[in-house]
Amino acid sequence: MIETFLLNSLLLLSQVSTPERKFIYLKNKLEKFGFQVIIELPPKRGAYGLLQEANKKIWINPVVFELKIGTQTLIHEAVHAAQVCAGNGKIKTLGLDIQPVNYARPFFMRYHDVHRQDLEREAYAVQTQPNSFDLAVSILQQHCK
């Protein structure tokens, strides 16, 4: 019985795709640093992901899994989590020396508040890098201890 369960568990784990493994790893990393990751509709309508800095809650809209952008969405929110850690509970920019790709500009330029634009620019900059997952993990480890 236990052997069958273990074999089935290993088989199921081997079928989990790389993006899903990365999502789970990053979710666990965020939870280790005191963030709660909730897979449900965010309180802000239309958002794919949302971080509330005051209570360290991160919502991930379930639709991102159907759109195949779950890991990218969590990477974006992980950058915001690192920004909260860097600001000791208040969100602040990290001063990253990378820029987002041009197609991401409309996503952060829609914010009227310049500080919010800068926060979103950093999150989109990391999210759009070829090594976005490794970069997000590194930034979290650097700023959240």
Q: Quick: pLDDT tens for 72-111.
A: 999 999 999 999 999 999 999 999 999 898 888 888 888 8
pTM of the entire predicted model: 0.85
71 neighbors 131 (Cβ within 8 angstroms): no
User: What's the DSSP call for residue 43?
Assistant: S
Sorting pLDDT into bands at 50, 70 and 90, what band is 33?
A: very high
What is the residue extent of each domain of the chain? 22-143
Sorting pLDDT into bands at 50, 70 and 90, what band is 145?
A: confident
pLDDT tens per residue, range 103-113: 888 888 888 89
Q: Which CATH class is domain 22-143?
A: mainly alpha
How far is it, in rounded angstroms, from Cα 124 to Cα 108? 8
How many Cα atoms within 13 Å fall on the side-chain side of residue 122? 23
Instruction: Pick the closest to residue 76 from 113, 145, 19, 129 (CA basis).
Output: 129
> DSSP secondary structure string, 75-127?
HHHHHHHHHHHHTTTS------S----GGGHHHHHT-SSHHHHHHHHHHHHHH
Does 7 have pLDDT greater than 90? no
**Residue 109: φ, ψ to 5°:** -75, -15
pLDDT at 19: 61
Does 47 have pLDDT greater than 80? yes
136 neighbors 123 (Cβ within 8 angstroms): no
Sorting pLDDT into bands at 50, 70 and 90, what band is 118?
A: very high
